[in-house]
């Protein structure tokens, strides 16, 4: 059920827990967050029950906690705020699908994993990105792909990512952070920034256009989040 601002009870609960460390909150706090958007208490509690039944949340001791799958999503969200990047020597990572028979579920899992690893698809079954991120290749990838390190002739960046579009939205979100007033608006802007940071390809500086706003958006969001979390926690305790 969607309420004011088009925010559903499920989305409000998920955003609240993804932004909490540890990712656990009592029902009364989640109800108070829903109330910021005109979501009735009964609607929030129904959403909580459904999310527990679906395996999204774990209920224990009066607390609702993210499931392991969603804790992994929170870890990716945290990583997007403070990414682990290594110096780039010009090498690109390529993952080429070579498994002959793949179930639809395997195909979907690979596409999802590639997005979380911030690889882009050059063509069907060929994924690539600069080799400047610190992480391991998960089994989902190694079971379906052949991995190659190489250097393309020419720069394929423009074929893989819409950098102008990402930068324009980032600058718009910076303005939204500056204008955000009240807990409800701050909650929505915060969630929007975190979603956008997850979509940052985290390219080396050599491949980014001048004035790239990624670092600035992270710094401004960190400043905003410190103050906003204090206000929100005060509201929840009140």
pLDDT score recorded for residue 202: 97
Q: Find, among 6, 74, 29, the residue nearest to 238 by Cα.
A: 29
Q: What is the pTM assigned to this prediction?
A: 0.90
pLDDT score recorded for residue 5: 55
56: helix, strand or coil: coil
Report residue 93: phi and psi, to 5°: -95, 135
pLDDT score recorded for residue 6: 66
pLDDT score recorded for residue 1: 38
Separation of alpha carbons 157 and 137, rounded Å: 22
Q: Find, among 167, 181, 184, the residue nearest to 12 by Cα.
A: 184
Separation of alpha carbons 168 and 117, rounded Å: 23
- Contact in structure between 147 and 93 (CB atoms under 8 Å): yes
Q: pLDDT tens digit string along 100-152? A: 889 999 999 999 999 999 999 999 999 999 999 999 999 999 999 999 999 99
pLDDT in tens, the chain (238 residues): 344 456 899 999 999 999 999 999 999 999 999 999 999 999 999 999 999 999 999 999 989 999 999 999 999 999 999 999 999 999 999 999 999 889 999 999 999 999 999 999 999 999 999 999 999 999 999 999 999 999 999 999 999 999 999 999 999 999 999 999 999 999 999 999 999 999 999 999 999 999 999 999 999 999 999 999 999 999 998 7
188: helix, strand or coil: helix
CB atoms under 10 Å from CB of 122, counted, come to 15
pLDDT score recorded for residue 238: 78
pLDDT score recorded for residue 191: 94
Report residue 47: phi and psi, to 5°: -60, -40
Q: pLDDT tens digit string along 60-74? A: 998 999 999 999 999
pLDDT score recorded for residue 237: 87
pLDDT score recorded for residue 204: 98
Cα dist. 116→16, 42, 180, 197, 200 in Å?
21, 34, 29, 12, 10
């Amino acid at each position: 059920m969607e309420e004011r601002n088009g925010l559903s009870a499920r989305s409000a609960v998920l955003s609240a827990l993804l932004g909490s460390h540890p990712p656990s909150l009592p029902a009364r706090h989640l109800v108070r967050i829903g109330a910021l958007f005109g979501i009735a208490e009964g609607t929030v509690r129904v959403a909580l029950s459904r999310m527990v039944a679906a395996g999204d949340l774990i209920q224990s001791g009066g607390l609702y906690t993210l499931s392991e799958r969603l804790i992994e999503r929170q870890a990716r969200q945290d990583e997007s705020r403070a990414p682990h990047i290594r110096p780039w020597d010009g090498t690109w990572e390529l993952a080429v699908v070579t498994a002959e028979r793949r179930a639809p579920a395997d195909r979907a899992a690979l596409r999802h994993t590639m997005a979380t690893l911030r690889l882009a698809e050059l063509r069907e079954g060929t994924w690539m990105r600069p080799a400047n991120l610190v992480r391991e290749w998960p089994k989902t990838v190694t079971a379906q792909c052949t991995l190659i390190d190489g250097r393309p002739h020419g720069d394929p960046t423009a074929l893989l990512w819409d950098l102008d579009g990402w930068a324009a939205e980032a600058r718009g979100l910076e303005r939204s952070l500056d204008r955000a007033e009240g807990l409800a608006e701050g909650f929505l802007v915060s969630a929007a920034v975190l979603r956008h940071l997850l979509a940052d390809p985290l390219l080396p500086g050599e491949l980014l256009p001048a004035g790239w706003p990624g670092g600035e958006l992270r710094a401004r969001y960190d400043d905003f989040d410190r103050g906003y979390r204090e206000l929100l926690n005060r509201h929840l305790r009140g």
